[in-house]
A and B are shown apart, each in its own frame.
Chain A
Amino acid sequence: MKQLVLLGLVFAVIGLAPFVISSEFTLNLVIMVLYAALLGQAWNILGGYGGQFSFGHAAYFGTGAYTVAVLQVQLGINPWLGLVAGGVMAMLVAAFIGFATFRYGLRGSYFALVTLAFAEVLRILSNSVPFTGAGVGILIPLDQSAANFQFASKQGFFWVIWVMTLAAFATVWWIGKSRFGAQLMAVRDNEDAARALGVEAFKVKMGAIMLSGLFSGLAGVFYAQYFLYLDPYIAYGPAISIESLLVPIVGGLGTLFGPLLGAIGLHLISEATRELIGDLPGISLVIYGIVLVIMVLFMPRGLAGLVRRLWPKPAPAKAQATEGGHA
Chain B
Amino acid sequence: MTEKKQSHGIQRRDFLKTTGAAALGLGVTGFPAVLRAQPAAVKVGLIHPVSGFIAFSGTQCREGALMAIADINAAGGIKSLGGAKLEAVLADSQGKPDIGAAEVAKMAEAGVDGFVAGYSSAISLATSQEAAKTNTPHIVDVGVSDSIVNRGLSNTFRFGPGYGKIAAFAVDNLDTINKAAGSPAKTAMIIHEESLFGTGTANLLSEKLPEKGIEVVEVIKHANPTRDFTNIVLQIKSKKPDLIIPANYYNEYVLLARTMRQQRVEAMGIYSVLGGAASNYKFVKEFPEAAEYIMDCNHWFNPKSDVALQRKKAAEDKGLIYTYEVFLAYNAVLGLADAFERAGTTDKEAVNAALASSTMDMSFMPYGPTKMVNGQNEGAQPVNTQVLKGDIEVIFPEEFASAETVFPMK
Do the two chains belong together in a single complex?
yes
Residues of A within 8 A of B (CB): 23-25, 28-29, 32, 127-128, 134-137, 139, 141-142, 152-153, 223, 227-229, 231-234, 239, 274-276, 278-282, 284-285
On whether the beta carbons of A25 and B195 are closer than 8 Å, the reply is no
User: In whole angstroms, what is the CA distance A128 to B194 when docked?
Assistant: 9
Known: A278-B92, A281-B92. A227 touches B151 (CB 8 A): no
User: In whole angstroms, what is the CA distance A167 to B179 when docked?
Assistant: 65
Residue numbers in B under 8 Å from A233 (CB-CB): 195
On whether the beta carbons of B122 and A274 are closer than 8 Å, the reply is no
A-B pairs with lowest CB-CB distance, top 6:
A135-B199, A281-B50, A282-B51, A25-B106, A25-B105, A281-B51
On whether the beta carbons of A280 and B1 are closer than 8 Å, the reply is yes
The listed residue (A24, A152, A228) touching B105 by CB distance below 8 A is A24
Residue numbers in A under 8 Å from B30 (CB-CB): none
User: In the complex, how many residue pairs between chain A and chain B have their CB atoms under 8 Å apart?
Assistant: 94
**B240 at the A interface (CB under 8 A):** no
User: In whole angstroms, what is the CA distance A180 to B59 when docked?
Assistant: 52
On whether the beta carbons of B196 and A137 are closer than 8 Å, the reply is yes
What's the nearest-Cβ distance from chain B to residue A58, in Å?
Answer: 14
User: In whole angstroms, what is the CA distance A284 to B5 when docked?
Assistant: 17
On whether the beta carbons of B98 and A227 are closer than 8 Å, the reply is yes
What's the nearest-Cβ distance from chain B to residue A25, in Å?
Answer: 4
User: In whole angstroms, what is the CA distance A24 to B136 when docked?
Assistant: 14
**B348 at the A interface (CB under 8 A):** no
The listed residue (B1, B12, B58, B97) touching A278 by CB distance below 8 A is B12
What's the nearest-Cβ distance from chain A to residue B263, in Å?
Answer: 26
7 sample A-B contacts, Cβ–Cβ < 8 Å, listed by A number: A25-B102, A32-B102, A135-B199, A152-B133, A228-B125, A275-B13, A279-B91
Residue numbers in A under 8 Å from B182 (CB-CB): none
Closest to A226 in B: B98
Interface residues of B in 189-209 (CB under 8 A from A): 193-196, 198-200, 203
B155-197 vs A: 1/0 string, CB under 8 Å?
Answer: 0000000000000000000000000000000000000011110
Known contacts A32-B98, A127-B199; can you find 7 more A-B pairs with CB under 8 A?
Answer: A25-B106, A32-B102, A137-B196, A139-B125, A228-B125, A274-B92, A275-B13
What's the nearest-Cβ distance from chain A to residue B101, in Å?
Answer: 7
On whether the beta carbons of B122 and A231 are closer than 8 Å, the reply is yes
User: In whole angstroms, what is the CA distance A135 to B91 when docked?
Assistant: 27
User: In whole angstroms, what is the CA distance A29 to B98 when docked?
Assistant: 11
On whether the beta carbons of A276 and B13 are closer than 8 Å, the reply is yes
B98-121 vs A: 1/0 string, CB under 8 Å?
Answer: 100110011011000000000000
On whether the beta carbons of B109 and A23 are closer than 8 Å, the reply is yes
On whether the beta carbons of A135 and B198 are closer than 8 Å, the reply is yes
What's the nearest-Cβ distance from chain A to residue B12, in Å?
Answer: 6
User: In whole angstroms, what is the CA distance A285 to B92 when docked?
Assistant: 11
On whether the beta carbons of A134 and B199 are closer than 8 Å, the reply is yes
On whether the beta carbons of B105 and A28 are closer than 8 Å, the reply is yes
The listed residue (A136, A142, A234, A274) touching B199 by CB distance below 8 A is A136
Closest to A228 in B: B129
Residue numbers in B under 8 Å from A24 (CB-CB): 105, 108-109, 133
On whether the beta carbons of B102 and A28 are closer than 8 Å, the reply is yes
Q: Which residue, A24, A153, A281, has most C-beta atoms of chain B within 10 A?
A: A281
Residue numbers in A under 8 Å from B92 (CB-CB): 274, 278-279, 281, 284
Known: A135-B194, A139-B125. A279 touches B153 (CB 8 A): no
**B381 at the A interface (CB under 8 A):** no
Residue numbers in B under 8 Å from A285 (CB-CB): 51, 94
Known: A135-B221, A142-B152, A227-B98. A281 touches B196 (CB 8 A): no
The listed residue (A127, A141, A275) touching B194 by CB distance below 8 A is A127
**B73 at the A interface (CB under 8 A):** no
**B55 at the A interface (CB under 8 A):** yes
On whether the beta carbons of A231 and B152 are closer than 8 Å, the reply is no
**B355 at the A interface (CB under 8 A):** no
**B235 at the A interface (CB under 8 A):** no
User: In whole angstroms, what is the CA distance A284 to B96 when docked?
Assistant: 15
On whether the beta carbons of A227 and B126 are closer than 8 Å, the reply is yes
Residue numbers in B under 8 Å from A229 (CB-CB): 97, 122, 125-126
Interface residues of B in 62-79 (CB under 8 A from A): none
**B11 at the A interface (CB under 8 A):** yes
Residue numbers in B under 8 Å from A28 (CB-CB): 101-102, 105
Closest to B13 in A: A275
Residue numbers in B under 8 Å from A284 (CB-CB): 51, 92
The listed residue (B12, B59, B105, B153) touching A142 by CB distance below 8 A is B153
Closest to B97 in A: A227
Known: A142-B151, A229-B125, A281-B55. A234 touches B97 (CB 8 A): yes
Closest to A29 in B: B102
User: In whole angstroms, what is the CA distance A274 to B106 when docked?
Assistant: 12
Residue numbers in B under 8 Å from A281 (CB-CB): 50-51, 55, 58-59, 92
Q: Which residue, A136, A231, A284, A285, has most C-beta atoms of chain B within 10 A?
A: A136
User: In whole angstroms, what is the CA distance A242 to B108 when docked?
Assistant: 30
User: In whole angstroms, what is the CA distance A229 to B196 when docked?
Assistant: 12
On whether the beta carbons of A278 and B91 are closer than 8 Å, the reply is yes
On whether the beta carbons of B195 and A135 are closer than 8 Å, the reply is yes
Residue numbers in A under 8 Å from B109 (CB-CB): 23-25
On whether the beta carbons of A279 and B90 are closer than 8 Å, the reply is yes
Closest to A270 in B: B99
Residue numbers in B under 8 Å from A280 (CB-CB): 1-2
**B147 at the A interface (CB under 8 A):** yes
Residue numbers in B under 8 Å from A239 (CB-CB): 96
Residue numbers in B under 8 Å from A32 (CB-CB): 98, 102
What's the nearest-Cβ distance from chain A to residue B89, in Å?
Answer: 10
Residue numbers in A under 8 Å from B98 (CB-CB): 32, 223, 227
Residue numbers in A under 8 Å from B55 (CB-CB): 281-282
Residue numbers in A under 8 Å from B91 (CB-CB): 278-279
On whether the beta carbons of B122 and A135 are closer than 8 Å, the reply is no
Q: Which residue, A137, A275, A285, has most C-beta atoms of chain B within 10 A?
A: A137
What's the nearest-Cβ distance from chain A to residue B3, in Å?
Answer: 12
Residue numbers in A under 8 Å from B203 (CB-CB): 134, 136
Known: A135-B194, A141-B151, A142-B153. A279 touches B199 (CB 8 A): no
User: In whole angstroms, what is the CA distance A23 to B109 when docked?
Assistant: 7
Q: Which residue, A32, A227, A284, has most C-beta atoms of chain B within 10 A?
A: A227
Interface residues of B in 203-243 (CB under 8 A from A): 203, 221
Closest to A281 in B: B50
